[in-house]
Amino acid sequence: MLRSRLVVIVAATSVLAACQASTDDSKSGSRGGTPTAIAPAEVPSNVSTLTPYPAPTKTTEPKAPDGFKPVFAENVARHGARSLTDGDLLDETIALWDEAKQAGALTSAGKRFGPDARALRSAMKKVGFGNLSTLGKEEHQAIGAREGKRLSALFKQAAADGEKVDIFDSGQGRAEASAENFSIGLRSVQPDLDIEPPESDEKMLKFDNEDRQYEKFLEDGPWTAPYNEVRKLSGIDQAAVDALKHLYKPDFVAGIDDPLNRANGIFDVYRSGPAMSRDVNVDTRPLMPKKAADAFAYVDDGRYFYSRGPGLDGDDGSYQAAQILLDDFFTVIDDHLKGRGSHLHAAVYRFAHAEEITPFAALIGLPGADEPATPGETYTHDNNDFRISRVTPLSANIEWTVWAKGDTHIVSIRHNERPTTVGRDCKAYQGTETFYELGELRTCLGATG
């Protein structure tokens, strides 16, 4: 029995159809025809951080109060749909399947797992591990195009006035590619707009690697104890065995070393299917029992909740590092309104990662990311609305639009292109629900810049 290294996240696999030598290997879970994105209604709710972007079916923009016009826009967004970041555990997962096949220990679901995993691996190698999939590129191109249409008047005026659009990314390839594809989409509907080449800002857009205090918190902060309670409540060890028995016969499963890590590999194959759906025709939904996948997704939710989300009541260590990002949101607004900087800009767009979007959402109190765990109560899906798949799916974005009427400025906020409220203590502008006076927003969110 092959022994595996402890790896948290795993993947799918691929061997070209021409290399699939047996009858079993030819029975893949192909959806047939040209690779097509899985419809949002068909995406499982338990694919966690690899949930594709839930694009709105129509632009949802509440009417601004009379007399207000948009003068500036900015956002922070997660990179788009991607392949798995690493192929090592994926390789080990396929190797285990090969061993089970040799032993005649495959179940009916197990017989399709290997070919499907190999097909996924082949597609991931083609796009590159950790890189945007075709769907990820399309997500951000579409978001950019919708942004160009939504703020058409703002951008046409910006082009006439010589104002530019600034683009920043974390310096990692998938964030850079997301920025580039967003720019393609925006330019497709605003061809006269001057969009600056993307610049990298790791300090702001990869702050989980740049803030030493936060790194320490992630390594051994107080979040680890309640997170371990989540793991106990999840029944993750039994879920791992159930996932393995779904693919392999009981005697074979009984001899597997480190079943939890092996099941992590299965979960990564399962959850990577939707994000890769435009690159390979594989339906991964039958490859893992729903109850087992739910347990793994709950553990993921618990980890993000305590380490990067709302966290523990009275302890802001899980999200305070996002202050650098919040302060920049106000700084660039001030730069625009006061005409500061090397050039005038009409918008600023930033591209980062789940590790930045999640704490930022918690810091500003977005619905679904605003309820910390009360003392003595462990986070569950029953007592808290936080789900990483809703707060920070692939291509997740949080956008502010500044509106002006004379010297009065108000800000509307959208989460994944849908209007939202923020911060429990923030008071909406008179007669509105999702617009805030700029000074009120600065105070209630606790800007320090």
Nearest 10 degrees: Cα torsion 394, 37, 275, 15: -160
Q: What percent of the chain has pLDDT over 90?
A: 86
Identity at 268, one-letter amino acid code: D
Cβ atoms of residues 49 and 267 within 8 Å: no
- What per-residue confidence (pLDDT) applies to 11? 32
**Of 135, 126, 128, nearest to 79 (Cα)?**
135
Among 120, 82, 100, 133, smallest CA distance to 24 is for: 100
pLDDT of residue 34: 65
Which parts of the chain register pLDDT below 50? 1-28, 31-32
Question: CA-based angle 411:317:370, to the nearest 5?
Answer: 45
Query: C-alpha distances in angstroms, 396 versus 26, 96, 151, 350, 360?
Result: 36, 34, 19, 12, 12
CB 313 within 8 A of CB 132: no
Measured CA to CA, the distance from residue 175 to residue 181 in angstroms comes to 10
The secondary element (H helix, E strand) that includes residue 46 is none
What is the total residue count of the chain? 449
Helix/strand/coil percentages in the chain, nearest 5: 50, 10, 40
Nearest to 398 by CA among 380, 417, 422, 378: 417
Q: State whether residue 266 is helix, strand or coil.
A: helix
pLDDT the model gives residue 8: 31
The pLDDT of residue 22:
33
Amino acid identity for residue 248 in this structure: Y
Tell me the longest C-alpha to C-alpha distance in the chain.
76
Q: If DSSP codes are grouped into helix, strand and coil, which group holds residue 389?
A: helix
Do residues 31 and 283 lie in contact, with contact meaning Cβ atoms separated by under 8 Å? yes
**In angstroms, how far is CA 319 from the centroid of its own chain?**
16
Is 299 in contact with 231 (CB distance < 8 Å)?
A: yes
Q: Which pTM value belongs to this model?
A: 0.91
Q: Helix, strand or coil for residue 27? A: coil
What integer pLDDT is reported at residue 19 of this predicted model?
34
The residue behind tokens 């392949």 is 83
Contact 206, 353 (CB under 8 A): yes
Cβ atoms within 10 Å of 182's Cβ, excluding its own: 30
Predicted pLDDT at 33: 54
pLDDT of residue 109: 97
Please report which helix (H) or strand (E) contains residue 98, including its range. Answer: helix 88-102
Torsion sign over Cα 240, 246, 250, 255: negative
